[in-house]
Structure 1
Amino acid sequence: MAAKAMAASFFLCVALAAALAATASVGEAAVVEHTFVVHEMNVTHLCNTTKIYVVNGQLPGPALDVTDGDTVVVHIVNRLEHGLTIHWHGVRQIRSCWADGAGFVTECPIPPGGEHTYRFNVTGQVGTLWWHAHVTCLRATINGAIIIRPKDGKYPFPTPAKDLPIIIGEWWQLDLIELDRRMADGNFDDNPLSATINGKLGDLSNCSGVPEESFVLDVERGKSYLLRIINTALFSEYYFKVAGHTFTVVGADGNYLTPFETDMITVAPGETIDVLMTANAPPAHYHMIALANQPPEPDPQIPVFISRGLVRYAGVRGDNNGLPVPVPLMPSQHNTMPSYYFHGNLTGLAYPERHRVPMHVDERFFITLGLGSLCRGGKKVCKRRRSNETIVVATMNNVSFHHPTTTSLLERYYDGTGKGVYTEDFPEKPPHPYNYTNRDLIPPGPLEEALEPTFKATKLRRFKYNTSVEIVFQSTALLQSDSNPMHLHGYDFFVLAQGLGNFNPKRDVKKFNYHNPQLRNTVQVPRTGWAAVRFVTDNPGMWYLHCHFEFHIVMGMATAFIVEDGPTPETSLPPPPPEFKRCGANGLTRP
């Protein structure tokens, strides 16, 4: 009992320290300081007590509430038996690549019992981003919102009565460290038990007839609410609806969007979507639903992941005045087209001059996203088609990324000691053209057998400062026809267009939106389709590019971009800050 009281007292002190962080009046920058204590905690759901990993005893973790222009300082205390880093997902990290928090890319993990301080500015971004662990699968429970408010306190839409994160995630009974180990061995048969909304499984999940707790949003009729929807799931894109209500989409990934009306949101892992919801329905209770989608067979099938919450109007009795609670009508779990149309409806809101699309292109990439296989035991020849003789890996242009386990790519690049650790020849196109979206490439085959052999390598790509880069991502049907949410650290990119089937430059370039494209850090590349993005390399450092499905990351769907220094100190990466700990000091390797 004393230990629990001590822990409660400690976390109260942490919360008070966060609440007393330095603040400033509207228009003035502030220093926002937090302490994150990462630790284990036992939680009981579905008649089982599970060990999970959390920050400050919270699931989801504490939100960072900042204003555009603020400096953020977060002290991490690692009380786990495993190393970890914290990534500030979507924060541009201008000239602060050392604080990006990508494990073994920009830093080695904070060792068990260790501490580390992250310090960075949040500048030129407004809306919703998020933070999460970036070593192994720990981000399933170590995550939280980053809320960035405008300097003048004004939005380009009606000011809501209240805003709050709606964090969609998953509940795993399997230990997350073990899950990572299994996925690294090519096993992606493990699944979570349920979806979650703000850490709650919802009353559709039950054990021995006892429903799980649901997330509840209390509203007052006539008022509007800004819902900051974040997908932290390891596995799935989600559909989100509230019965009897519609949404106005106003932002995504820390950037404003042209408002548009819809009754359903789709949000892929890594994405954030900001929506206004007006409580204009007859006063009552209404269910909200988060439902995971997935491709149909012959793709490997997963269970239905769903969580149900409640919108509760003020003044309504607890039994909903004796009436049934409306439930939204959801799409089929296997219908991925609503995602395609939703993402296709997003456009940017009147970007200022500095956000104009670069009309010239210095370097073009066509990157295929799929799966492949390696022979086990280092053999040259083996039976393919998902046999026991192979390990399934994920690839980009038929290269499966080999993640370092003892060193940081940024350190090696900065010190000039990258030789033997990585090469700078990530391919700009796949080695062999084929019909990338042919559904017959999905097992049981046999068409995929000739295409699936691949290899592991740490292949990067180097760019000069201020290079205009265009990437066309092509999802494939090789072994599995997933969509792919591709996330680039350190940058926002313009999403110029998306399409279904194989990208055809003669036809599809005509669809590019140069006028008001959405500006994102994560692009959902549609199932057996493509997406085109463009950005300028104006932020020097080492920047991780990867799919945000965790099993795709672990299995190798990743690379990193080196961006060289510009011509001035203001366009160059500074030396590591005093709080940065080099890898050799810890001697930590991947758990």
Structure 2
Amino acid sequence: MRFEGALVLLFGLFTYHALADTHYYNFTIQDTAYTRLCLTKSILTVNGRFPGPTIDARNGDIVIVNVVNQAEYNITIHWHGVDQPRNPWSDGPEYITQCPIQPGSNFTYRVDLSEKEGTVWWHAHSDWDRATVHGAIVVRPRLGDSFPFAQPAGEIPLILGEWWKANVSEVIADALRTGADPKISDAYTINGLPGDQYPCSENDTFTAEVETGKTYLLRVVNAAINNELFFAIEGHRLTVVGADAAYTKTFDTDYIMITPGQTFDLLLNANSTAGSRHYIAARAYASADGVDFDTTITTGILQYSNSSSSSSPQPTLPSSLPASNDTNAATSFVAGLRSLASTKHPADVPQTIDRRIVITVAVNLLPCEPGNTCDGAQDDRLSASLNNISFVSPVVDILEAYYRNISGVFGTGFPDEPPLAYNYTADTLPAFLLFPRRATEVKVLEYNTSVEVVFQGTNLLAGENHPMHLHGFSFYVVGRGFGNFDNTTDPSTYNLVDPPFENTVGVPKNGWAAIRFVARNPGAIVFLFGFFVHHALANTLYYNFTIQETPCTRLCLTKPILTVNGQFPGPTINARNGDIVVVNVINRAEYNITIHWHGVDQPRNPWSDGPEYITQCPIQPGSNFTYRVDLRDKEGTVWWHAHSDWDRATVHGVIVVRPRLGGSFPFAQPAGEIPLVLGEWWKANVSEVIAEALRTGGSPNVSDAFTINGQPGELYPCSKNDTFNAEGHRLTVVGTDAAYTKPFGTDYIMITPGETFDLLLKANSTAGSRHYIAARAYAPAVGVPFVTTITTAILRYSNSSSSSSSPQPTLPSSLPVSNDTDAATAFVTGLRSLASTEHPIDVPQTIDRRIVITVAVNLLSCETGNTCAGPQGDRFAASLNNISFQTPVIDILDAYYRNISGVFGTGFPNEPPLPYNYTDTTFPGFLLFPRRATEVKVLEYNTNVEVVLQGTNLIAGDNHPMHLHGFSFYVVGRGFGNFNNETDPSTYNLVDPPFENTVGVPKSGWAAIRFRARNPVDE
């Protein structure tokens, strides 16, 4: 099997088929005035719309939705029918998978549409807010794929709902206060409109215009609170082709019966005459005896082209619309549903099961509180139960409690069968059965278990159909029947060949429904009471980054600099191994920008990697972009920074990734942690520095200072108060680039741009003492200007002060001089992976492909009529294998995904196009001028790759930092001179080489790295 892949050194992609897309939506929860049924009232909406926005996507896409709550009440959003694989935090049920979004707050959801195709929907999951806070999710086939039926001429979403004249929040609050049934709705609606059968509603009727002879795809959602609905169109038959975002065998019918929360995809053959008008109609299916329901009918108009309301006759209600109590019609419809079960859309029905769970579904009573008056049956409170347990909503969400091991929030005692067996569907039942136990119980399932759940309806108080929805899974409805389920005989009636694949099932009045699924979505919530044991769940963290100019004073000068949230350095992201970090970046600056998450692999998520015009187009001024940062298998220190020009000089910050909850460092727990970000400072505007270099072709001006945590230190002018203060002399390296190392004692470190180290510091000096923390450049190149100054910070022991009582610190004698190549080499040679049982390594012992890449500073010819400041009057340029990268105007990943030709080529060579003595001191002049191109390297998935980075002495030999996007790698070898592919591999460390994402290629030398190409863009 082949896969597409991440970008390698900004030039590598893997081959396979079309990539998924990521869509971004902003949902603002707000009160909006709406008029229906002769009355104007305020309702809760998303972005002022009722129904809310339709989300359009394709199979496999990711949808990021930032929900801002500007209402007066808490809210959450549920993505109904979306499995959310390994992402239960974004599922949405209040106090189950998340605490609610409070007024004035926001929450960003990640909606994973992998393996979804058809119609699902979203809705509020707090009380009854979903009555008006809901909308459709249309999931089309992947690019290049098609429907398993002829392409329709158009699509018509139809959301069936309910409308109350009263405030919906007050309706449910009154029911909870009195213990009675909620007041029934005053109307049903189609796309938020009741239709002309209701008063004041002639202009509040949904109209769908069609053309004779064409076929249309109707996407029908039942967003009613509790009512199953019959739906029909006068004079037309419907063809069912999908249910709950899964294709079905085509099934012709005059009507459908749709359960609350369910969706159907229907083909409509527009076979009536031009100018005609036909009612679209829905009414309740109400199977319960003696229970009030809304008996009205909602209508819309199917209007053929060239029709008008004045010249066309009044439409009539569909004669095919069943009566509200027609159980035979409801049963006949659901019995006709079958999965498509084709080669392309197979059905994977569990043929055997590991566990059967039988659950009674009932309407019960809870005793009325002393001194209160209740309006339920027997003057008590109505209450629902599963297996005689009435769910108690916790005050801490269950998933959080499970993740953080918070006791007392829930129990694990939900039973596999009813605690008391009885004749569930009898007409008369003992009174003691009416009163359930109140508890917050969950069902724990082992990962990969094949599960059958049988829902058994009961006649307690009043038997009726019950809609049951599975969070985190779809399931196969393998059987239905009336009466009591018989576990000996009824399974023989199951359909195990092509049962419908759904996420919501209606349990028939006085009957049962059996479903099967495989527990393969760790962390998912099942029917709001069950989740899986697998491994520790990760957390999702949310940050807002605002790119803005902020005045900053350094070296006697105040100037505006680009910052995140006004901070320099920017915010530190604190997370744990396996967490997801969602960062919404708002660009309020004057220039384009992107953010790169340096050292984060972003598995299957290259769109969030960040390099400008490589994996994304830049975020333009006034725009925003939401990144998803996947910290899977990361532990240690990585960082984030701007990836547009030189904006990263001030737009950067640390990402601290601690062990998972319950885990620990592979060394003793330190007393504290001190992030130290080493940087540079220019008195001039950084954008102007790089713009000047690009204009003239010369080297950029060297910086005016190095910094520690944004501060140059007191050895620079005007910087006495700009010195970073910290608390820690001899250093012990314990990690590099978010991977643990064998402990390595050293007096200094040499750190390449982009690299990170985790160091233990033993604070073994005397109380009251002060010690310099210092950094200077390592600059091996001859004749190349660099900053010769030293940045300092203070390591201050308790009881010390900066006054005269504490002696002035001195610079570390262990700090090597700037050209000390021996010191640099000795340090990097000492690095070894920890390679322990708990932190193993997987070094490729053999390779499928070796790629040798020369890394050089070259020249580009100065343009005619221009004056350039590089050597020989030309322009400086960098090259890999004698190709100088040309930035495209469309990002490479998007061009690859959309098959846009002319953006990049795939001709990046496996070796230098012209072998020569790379580290010689003199060269033929023609070697100085590379080819300009945008070339990528295509790798097969799962290939073991070795890349040898060969330094050259063209123009000036220097150390070159090389960073791999999408992967960490093993640095298996380093050396000086020209790499010899016969002898040098024998010197490799294939036992415990350091695992890094950035490597320094030594001046006049080479570095060899190995990795396995296992970070595909998509399968």
TM-score under structure 1 normalisation? 0.85
> Following TM superposition, by how much is the alpha carbon of 1:326 offset from its aligned partner in structure 2, in angstroms?
3.3
Name the residue aligned to 2:462: 480
The 1:305/1:568 distance shift into structure 2, 3 A limit, reads closer
Name the residue aligned to 1:161: 153
> Following TM superposition, by how much is the alpha carbon of 1:72 offset from its aligned partner in structure 2, in angstroms?
0.7
Answering whether residue 356 of structure 2 is matched by residue 364 of structure 1, we say: yes
- SS class of match (1:206): coil
Answering whether residue 398 of structure 2 is matched by residue 395 of structure 1, we say: no
Name the residue aligned to 2:180: 187
Name the residue aligned to 2:531: 562
Alpha-carbon separation, structure 2, partners of 1:480 and 1:278: 40
Letter in 2 for 1:155: F
Alpha-carbon separation, structure 2, partners of 1:177 and 1:567: 37
Superposed, 1:141-540 pairs within 5 Å as 141-151=132-142, 152-185=144-177, 186-207=179-200, 211=202, 213-283=204-274, 284-295=276-287, 297=289, 299-321=290-312, 323-329=313-319, 330-350=321-341, 355-377=347-369, 386-388=377-379, 390-404=380-394, 406-417=395-406, 419-438=407-426, 440-441=427-428, 447-540=429-522
Alpha-carbon separation, structure 1, partners of 2:298 and 2:169: 24
Of stretches 407-416 and 447-456 in structure 1, the one that deviates more from structure 2 is 447-456
- SS class of match (1:413): helix
Alpha-carbon separation, structure 1, partners of 2:328 and 2:166: 31
The 1:567/1:307 distance shift into structure 2, 3 A limit, reads closer
> Following TM superposition, by how much is the alpha carbon of 1:282 offset from its aligned partner in structure 2, in angstroms?
2.5
Does the 8 Å contact 2:79/2:111 carry over to 1?
Answer: no
> Following TM superposition, by how much is the alpha carbon of 1:212 offset from its aligned partner in structure 2, in angstroms?
5.1
> 1:82-126 CA distances to partner (integer Å, 9 max, x unpaired)?
010111111110111111111111110110011111123211110
Letter in 2 for 1:183: A
What is the percent sequence identity of the aligned residues?
Answer: 37
Does the 8 Å contact 2:283/2:324 carry over to 1?
Answer: yes
Alpha-carbon separation, structure 1, partners of 2:448 and 2:37: 53
> 1:177-229 CA distances to partner (integer Å, 9 max, x unpaired)?
2223233342214011000000001000004xx64521101000011110000
Alpha-carbon separation, structure 1, partners of 2:470 and 2:88: 13
Does the 8 Å contact 1:117/1:579 carry over to 2?
Answer: yes
The 1:354/1:290 distance shift into structure 2, 3 A limit, reads closer
Alpha-carbon separation, structure 2, partners of 1:568 and 1:57: 36
Higher helix proportion, which one? 1
Alpha-carbon separation, structure 2, partners of 1:384 and 1:510: 44
Q: Structure 1: which 5+ residue stretches go unaligned?
A: 1-25, 442-446, 546-558, 581-591
> Following TM superposition, by how much is the alpha carbon of 1:174 offset from its aligned partner in structure 2, in angstroms?
2.1
Given the alignment, which residue of 116, 124, 137 partners 2:128? 137
- SS class of match (1:328): coil
Name the residue aligned to 1:21: none
Letter in 1 for 2:316: P
Does the 8 Å contact 1:351/1:516 carry over to 2?
Answer: no
The 1:71/1:296 distance shift into structure 2, 3 A limit, reads closer
The 1:45/1:568 distance shift into structure 2, 3 A limit, reads closer
Alpha-carbon separation, structure 2, partners of 1:384 and 1:162: 49
Name the residue aligned to 2:771: none
Does the 8 Å contact 2:470/2:503 carry over to 1?
Answer: yes
Name the residue aligned to 2:30: 39
Does the 8 Å contact 1:90/1:129 carry over to 2?
Answer: yes
Alpha-carbon separation, structure 2, partners of 1:480 and 1:490: 30
Number of matched residues? 525
Alpha-carbon separation, structure 2, partners of 1:408 and 1:343: 35
Does the 8 Å contact 2:234/2:279 carry over to 1?
Answer: yes
Of stretches 225-234 and 300-309 in structure 1, the one that deviates more from structure 2 is 300-309
Give the alignment's Cα RMSD to 1 decimal. 2.4
> Following TM superposition, by how much is the alpha carbon of 1:542 offset from its aligned partner in structure 2, in angstroms?
4.1
For CA contacts below 8 A with separation 6 or more, give which structure has more relative contact order: 1
> 1:530-587 CA distances to partner (integer Å, 9 max, x unpaired)?
1100111101004040xxxxxxxxxxxxx42121226999xxx98553349xxxxxxx
> Following TM superposition, by how much is the alpha carbon of 1:455 offset from its aligned partner in structure 2, in angstroms?
1.9
Alpha-carbon separation, structure 2, partners of 1:376 and 1:37: 39
The 1:392/1:318 distance shift into structure 2, 3 A limit, reads closer
Name the residue aligned to 1:14: none
Alpha-carbon separation, structure 2, partners of 1:211 and 1:120: 38
Name the residue aligned to 1:578: 581
> Following TM superposition, by how much is the alpha carbon of 1:305 offset from its aligned partner in structure 2, in angstroms?
3.1
> 1:4-61 CA distances to partner (integer Å, 9 max, x unpaired)?
xxxxxxxxxxxxxxxxxxxxxx933111111111100121222222221000111110
Answering whether residue 114 of structure 2 is matched by residue 123 of structure 1, we say: yes
Of stretches 264-273 and 429-438 in structure 1, the one that deviates more from structure 2 is 429-438
Name the residue aligned to 1:62: 53
Does the 8 Å contact 1:367/1:471 carry over to 2?
Answer: yes
Alpha-carbon separation, structure 1, partners of 2:294 and 2:94: 31
Does the 8 Å contact 1:401/1:456 carry over to 2?
Answer: yes
Q: Which has the larger radius of gyration?
A: 2
Superposed, 1:64-143 pairs within 5 Å as 64-143=55-134
Alpha-carbon separation, structure 2, partners of 1:132 and 1:568: 25
